[in-house]
Structure 1
């Protein structure tokens, strides 16, 4: 009788499970980091034309030239391609994530089945299945931005399989394939570099007959590829602006503000224990663990001493097991090696913790569980244990992924567990603010948003984005004095925060303090908010204080930055009309109408310009169109009656 684990049905099941768990995400929106990495990333939004910039700049360079010190061009290039094919659609990204998740599951099977363990295909099947159903993986698969994680492990696993295929068949083509896929893994995510340790570990534990010389020959092409990648990465990043101080700030990683290493280490070990716990007990799963979710742990405390002893013991057992070529120890070592770049133990990372950071390391835990379980001689009644566990974890994964539908569903679900997280409260407050602004102008939304903005600020008083968004909410509610206080507080905390200057300019514009508005639009531009909206606001307010030449220059700059900015053409048309340049005025209004045919203002002032130039026929036509579009605009009805009476 054919062993089930050798059948095509087994492989099909491994593909089917991720599709069943995550299939619904194809209808989901962008969420959390998707917005920054895709929707707000200038190089991604440029489509295929932005790919050159993507490969020659750091990861978040397209977000106002923010330097995060990362180089991950491959996923961004794919996002840019999707933007070219289906602009603004999240569906291609979700489809690709699900497909890669299914592919990864199959790759795990094909890798592990090459290990000389007892019943290799059975071990490979259950390792792959447990990996596929782990609830902590929902953040990676359901969040489009995490394509970098998926690509990294996809190419890294392919590299491992290629190396083992070479050992088996001695076909040099497999070395070439391994070098190529390893390079692609590195272009996906920096942590792929850890496979320079993982591959020798695989050879040492599972293929002890391979000589040290042969291992070195195998690793030389990969080490060369790593060196080339490091050179490219260094060259790109050395030409970028200075590393942004927010990258290693306390909001992202509060471990960075702990003054002594022993307490820093104890606190980091507590975070790592939380990660291990969530692999086995996936509750609660959250989108954010930043300041101040984790407490500071004193190394001198009983708990600190326990953590140190626990992890020294785990490390010791793992090293001993690897030395003795114990298969279960390989899984623990795999976990330790792949988690090390983000563990905040050897060096500081830009984030304290995230479930996505467990994605690749969890493969080691899945393998160790299967190896240890295979050694247990369980009664027949317990044979169904792995199947039941698979259903439970699969259900938990399916249940969690539904909250990743969009920011609103995710933030509302998680907020009850994030009372100590500044960003968690900020995210939920911002979600409520957007509902108030775009969906339902209920005072309840506004009041609740303010409560959570204040909670975020109470946890982290220097939280610039929280102060800024709180002020923006006050602008929308026409509470301009409160808005002004919020933005002035931002500038007090960080004078280089350009968005605060821009928003203060909006406050002064709405309160008809045009000179101040113009001054703060200029300050926003001087502080790197040099977009079309800033230049338009500058020109608009300069016009009110009769600085027409400067206003004209600002509107021309607006159009240079955004050739489709129809309102800038309207304002230029007015300026040209006031200076007697009828032809330029008419052309500007026509350009505005071409961009926005239903704009009553453009038609109205085009008509006025025609009338002033003595062209009554064209003037009346434009006035009639303006009246049809908006009978209440300015005094269009009265002018039209006068024209018809003549």
Structure 2
């Protein structure tokens, strides 16, 4: 009875700690990717009826409405979406219940962590059949440190983070039941372990490294032979293969969908040299280690260039290499002696590997939530040190003091960090202070302002907010001039200013600026509204500048060029520049009839022009009008003899 009372007290205290920290989140809004997985996900909003579609498609399909081709490898994480669908069926869009689910699943994962640590460190032939597990105080402290760790605030406070929680919950469950199977030799426990591992993979593919990390544990903690390690690997390979087959059926490919990611916001290393990539990855691994012990500062935004590219010879890259190489050397050296410190190091690097950008592009330099599973090594380290020095009173006392300091620091930091996730403005406000050099954080902070601006009625207040937000858009584009989202917002803020001052020339100048960088669909959408209100000549000149001068001449993007030139034609069918541009671009794209039509309209309305005769003539020849074509080309040569030297493909 004393044993169970002690265990109950530990569980109760863990529950109080978790609810004490995270209960405040039950009043928080949906933020960030919650719109992808809940509020704008059509499968989730079908409730229970959408679960089959959730498991049968890429996790982005319910949001996008089609099978996506945005991310290398796709995204197949149906378990959390299925939980959200069930939550929607029962509670609708009430954020209270979604946040409560995160808290409850997090509590379950911490209790399972406690039991797993206890089982891992407390094994003998004498107690192998006992239902009891070790409930020493330092097991409780290790679980409490994990529960309070600030790097987990993102996963728990952000509803979307349920995928991380479920992945850990079922991943650690697979580990626990594999341990019980080893200790008791009852097949049922291995079956449960396999099912749990399969569920962890359905939650998030980041648990794949546990396929190696769990079997390796038996070598270090149960003195198993390599043959036994291999046997456990093969047993866990069964649910892995099942997962991959189901994934392949849902996505249409196994692991590689042959998507060529473009832009540093989808692949932060796409513009980096090989040396910069290696140097930066080494530095991020060092940052992960630092965050385990000193989790400050925290941010949800590690996009370019919150972390800058680091060459291999950069001092921080060199320090990172020395630290990592030293740890790996300690781990390798400890293999033969089955040193548990070696296991801790191996577990960390094995589980962090899948999110390190070494083999798989994860779309950002790093993320605090990626530490969820690797931080299990931190908990094992705490228990290991207590086990090792439990009989040395001085060291044990010092360790309790250190743990106490860590606990106070962790609780303080977490309690201060969690409110940042209350709503999107507070989250982005903090992010832009920490991630000052992130194009994304600056842009998204401005977007938070935009959401307020579009509903603001007072023009003076609206202008103040626009001016403030434009600073952050400017900074975002300074960091990454081709950032599509920032260019869109630059155009959007200009549009809001136009609604106040009606200065269409200034608006169109901004639209020209963003179009000179890349095609921004917002410009098209707003111009479709503007064309009925603005001066016809201003609009037609804009369509010519953007369509011909920017997209045809400078960018050689003829499809977009024709889109704008057609808009110009619709606005003013007789515009000299529009007819000129349409004639040439239609010729270059093989639309010879349209080229002839535009060229002839130009010649009839604006007089002779060598270029027009030249392109009309060549279009006519390619269109089967040989005689007329040769006559027009001859007229072009008479007006401009240098055209005789021009060669067309």
Q: What TM bracket, shorter-length normalisation?
A: 0.7 to 0.9
Mapped contact 2:77–2:163 kept (Cα < 8 A): yes
Q: 1:135 to 1:510 in 2, by over 3 A?
A: farther
Find the counterpart in structure 2 of residue 427 from structure 1: 444
- Inter-partner Cα distance in structure 2 for 1:278 and 1:306: 16
Q: Does 1:285 align with 2:298?
A: yes
Which among 505, 508, 512 is matched to residue 531 of structure 2?
A: 508
**In 2, distance between residues paired with 1:392 and 1:487?**
49
Residues 378, 230 of structure 1: alpha-carbon distance in 2 compared, 3 angstrom cutoff: same
Aligned-partner SS, 1:402: helix
Please point out which of 169, 189, 205 is paired with 1:190.
205
The alpha carbon displacement at 1:220 in A equals 3.0
Counterparts of 2:376 and 2:533 in 1: how far apart (Å)? 56
- 3-state secondary structure, aligned to 2:26: helix
Which region of structure 1 is more displaced relative to structure 2, 310-319 or 104-113?
Answer: 310-319
Q: Does 1:40 align with 2:40?
A: yes
Distance 1:236 1:499, change over 3 A: farther
Which shifted more, 237-246 or 3-12?
237-246
Distance 1:155 1:141, change over 3 A: same
Assess, with a 3 A threshold, how the Cα gap between structure 1 residues 272 and 169 changes in structure 2: closer, same or farther. Answer: same
Please list, as runs of the form range in 1=range in 2, the aligned pairs for 1:264-343 lying within 5 A after superposition: 264-343=277-356
Secondary structure in 1 matching 2:215: helix
Equivalent residue, structure 2, for 1:81: 86
In structure 2, do the counterparts of structure 1 residues 81 and 503 end up closer, same or farther at CA, with 3 Å as the change threshold? Answer: farther
> Per-residue CA shift, 1:270-296, capped at 9, x if unaligned?
111112212222221111010111122
Q: Is the 8 A contact 2:279 2:314 kept in 1?
A: no
- Greater shift, 278-287 or 42-51, is seen at 42-51
Give the superposition deviation at 1:449.
0.8
CA contact (8 A) 1:105 1:128 kept: yes
What whole-Å deviation, never above 9, does each CA across 1:326-347 have from its counterpart, x for those lacking one?
Answer: 2232222211111000112344
Q: In 1, Cα distance between the equivalents of 2:533 and 2:201?
A: 50
Q: So what's the TM-score if we normalise by structure 2?
A: 0.73
- Matched with 2:251 is 237
- Asked whether the equivalents of residues 253 and 291 of structure 1 are also in contact (C-alpha less than 8 Å), the reply is no
Against the structure 1 CA distance between its residues 288 and 368, is the aligned structure 2 distance closer, same or farther, given a 3 Å change threshold? same
Q: Are the structure 2 counterparts of residues 510 and 109 from structure 1 closer, same or farther at C-alpha, using a change threshold of 3 Å?
A: farther
1:2-33 Cα deviation digits (max 9, x unpaired): 57994310121122211111111011001122
Distance 2:521 2:44 in 1: 23
- Shifted more, 29-38 versus 393-402: the winner is 29-38
Unaligned 5+ runs, structure 2: 124-132, 544-566, 572-649
Name 2:109's counterpart in structure 1. 104
Q: CA deviation at 1:75?
A: 1.1
Q: Which moved more, 1:100-109 or 1:363-372?
A: 363-372
Alignment of 1:161-560 (within 5 A): 161-208=176-223, 210-238=224-252, 249-260=263-274, 262-376=275-389, 377=392, 379=394, 382=398, 383-438=400-455, 441=458, 442=461, 443-477=463-497, 478=499, 481-487=505-511, 492-495=516-519, 498-509=521-532, 511=534
Aligned partner of residue 344 in structure 1, secondary structure: coil
* TM-align CA RMSD: 3.1
Contact 1:425 1:453 in 2 (8 A): yes
Q: CA deviation at 1:72?
A: 0.8
Mark the CA change 1:449 to 1:437 in structure 2 (over 3 Å): closer, same or farther.
same
Residues 372 and 461 of structure 1, relative CA distance in 2, 3 Å threshold: same
CA contact (8 A) 2:152 2:368 kept: yes
Please give the per-residue CA displacement for 1:281-326, whole angstroms capped at 9, x wherever unaligned.
2221111010111122111344433322221111111222344212
Distance 1:482 1:181, change over 3 A: farther
Q: Tell me, in whole angstroms, the C-alpha distance in 2 between the residues paired with 1:138 and 1:475.
A: 37
Aligned with residue 98 of structure 2, among 77, 93, 99: 93
Q: Structure 2 vs 1, CA of residues 389 and 235 (structure 1 numbering), >3 Å: closer, same or farther? A: same
CA distance in 1, matches of 2:514, 2:88: 34
Q: 1:336 to 1:44 in 2, by over 3 A?
A: same
Residue by residue over 1:253-276, the C-alpha shift from the partner in whole angstroms, topping out at 9 and shown as x without a partner, is 42232122x331111111111122
Deviation, 1:178, is 1.2
Q: Is the 8 A contact 2:492 2:522 kept in 1?
A: no
Q: What is the aligned partner in structure 2 of residue 25 from structure 1? A: 25
> Which residue matches 1:9?
9
Post-superposition CA distance 1:230-270 (Å, at most 9, x none): 12222332379966655x6312442232122x331111111
Structure 1: runs of 5+ lacking an equivalent: 521-540, 546-646
In 2, the alpha carbon distance for the partners of 1:40 and 1:204 equals: 46
Q: Is the 8 A contact 1:298 1:304 kept in 2?
A: yes
SS in structure 1 opposite 2:135? helix
Question: Is the partner of 1:158 in helix, strand or coil?
Answer: helix
Measure how far apart 1:503 and its partner are.
3.5
